[in-house]
Structure 1
């Protein structure tokens, strides 16, 4: 097993300073549900890690609150915190549903939303709903803080755009309108303790005339960098939803997957699967059979 020094900063500021001091030989840990397993298994990409900086005890990063028309979530909020939050159950229920599918109860108790984002796994369950919500993240480093769109944090699978001394401290998004409907669906090898083969988060709003006034489709596991699929959203936007349109939107998602990633051995499975999953999610949200 790799050997490393354990550091426990007293604040976010000190944690950033430690990251700046030790550079690529240091890694931040919160819940440790991903990093510690990889270190235990001697994953070669962590062979140069000499310092583990534990921020899991920093209460300043553990909260879920309303701020006007926005919801703010501290990056150290656990998946269990999210599932149980009355605020999130009201304003982003599909985000709660996604968080409830992460690992086991023990993993949900330990794992944090900031860690899920920082790990940059393309198979993350909480990320697609956040992408659909156009979430932003607050990032803090030795030179100050900045707020950016969540999707800009991802550079590639398991790679972020964070600077060496930066830490994700908060996730925020606008409250969904009361008439909005949201759905998260996941496809895995098992019903529990399963890493997603693919997933999708959708939000839809239908106006008083029956037309779709807003729609957001954010699939997971099919792109290296998570994103909404605008070409699929445009199929429904401004129209009265029908089964045919939902199927067409699902097809647009699979087409965009191929456009971005090309034809792969898994495409034969993924193409019909993501089409069906997207269609099902939209069908549930819009109550169209």
Structure 2
């Protein structure tokens, strides 16, 4: 394991001060389900890191709040808490579904939603859902606070656009209205404790005639970073969702995966699977019975 100095700040101000002091040599510890493994394995991404700042005492960063038409989730809220929250299940059900599929029960009770975003893994489960919800990350440092769209925070696989000394402190997003449907689907290598092989988050809005007015389609573990696929979204807008339309949108997602990720040894498997997973998620979000 890498040698490091351990810090346990009493409040956010002290945590930000420590980060400002140690700069690139410091890493923030939230749930620890990724960082501790990386430390133990002496992961090369931690080269030069010798200061660990544990946020365990910052209880005020663990909450789920309703604020008018928005929900705010503290960055230290665990996936288990997100999955079980009546507010999240009512107003952002795809996020509750995604959080409920992270790792095992033990991992869900430790891993945090802020940490899942900060880790920036292409296979993260909650990140596609957060992007589909157009969530905004609240970032705090010794210089103050700023807000960045969750998707814009991803700079590449396992890399973020967090500035030096910044901590993700909360995530905010609008509640889904009654005239919207959503879905999150995940395919792993096995039934339990599985890192996503592929996943997909979908949100559809429709008018009184059932025509799609807006769509958000975000595949995970398919692109270098989770991102929306406008070509697939635009295909749905203005139409009533059908099996054929959902199939065509799924193919668009596959084309985008091929364009951004290139052809690899896994492409022959992944290409038809991401297309099928997208089709199913679109039909589920639209309330159309899925034809297996």
- Return the TM-score normalized by structure 1: 0.97
Alignment partners' CA distance in 1, 2:143 and 2:212 = 43
1:137 and 2:159 matched: no
Give the C-alpha shift of residue 162 in structure 1. 0.6
Alignment partners' CA distance in 2, 1:90 and 1:287 = 16
Alignment partners' CA distance in 2, 1:14 and 1:233 = 44
Partner of 1:217: 217
> Structure 1 residues 26-35 or 264-273, which shifts more?
264-273
Aligned length: 289
Partner of 1:45: 45
Q: What's the secondary structure of 1:222's corresponding residue? A: coil
Alignment of 1:1-289 (within 5 A): 1-288=1-288, 289=290
Q: Contact (CA 8 Å) 1:4, 1:52: kept in 2 or not?
A: yes
Give the C-alpha shift of residue 57 in structure 1. 2.0
Alignment partners' CA distance in 2, 1:178 and 1:246 = 21
Alignment partners' CA distance in 1, 2:156 and 2:246 = 29
Alignment partners' CA distance in 1, 2:69 and 2:287 = 27
Listed one character per residue, the Cα deviations across residues 180-215 of structure 1 (whole Å, up to 9, x for unaligned) are 111100010011100001100111123221211222
For the aligned residue pairs, the C-alpha RMSD in angstroms reads 1.1
> Structure 1 residues 249-258 or 11-20, which shifts more?
11-20
Alignment partners' CA distance in 2, 1:170 and 1:151 = 15
- Return the TM-score normalized by structure 2: 0.96
Give the C-alpha shift of residue 95 in structure 1. 0.6
Give the C-alpha shift of residue 179 in structure 1. 2.4
Alignment partners' CA distance in 2, 1:56 and 1:102 = 20
Q: Contact (CA 8 Å) 1:2, 1:47: kept in 2 or not?
A: no
> Structure 1 residues 199-208 or 131-140, which shifts more?
199-208
> Structure 1 residues 264-273 or 129-138, which shifts more?
264-273
Listed one character per residue, the Cα deviations across residues 43-68 of structure 1 (whole Å, up to 9, x for unaligned) are 23224221110012201211100111
* Moved segments of 4+, more than 4 Å: none
Gaps of 5+ in 2: none
Listed one character per residue, the Cα deviations across residues 131-154 of structure 1 (whole Å, up to 9, x for unaligned) are 111110000111111011111111
Q: Contact (CA 8 Å) 2:9, 2:57: kept in 1 or not?
A: no
Alignment partners' CA distance in 2, 1:254 and 1:246 = 13
Alignment partners' CA distance in 2, 1:53 and 1:287 = 45
Alignment partners' CA distance in 1, 2:57 and 2:230 = 39
Q: Contact (CA 8 Å) 1:33, 1:110: kept in 2 or not?
A: yes
Listed one character per residue, the Cα deviations across residues 3-38 of structure 1 (whole Å, up to 9, x for unaligned) are 111101111121111111111111100110000011
Q: What's the secondary structure of 1:110's corresponding residue? A: coil
Q: What's the secondary structure of 1:217's corresponding residue? A: strand
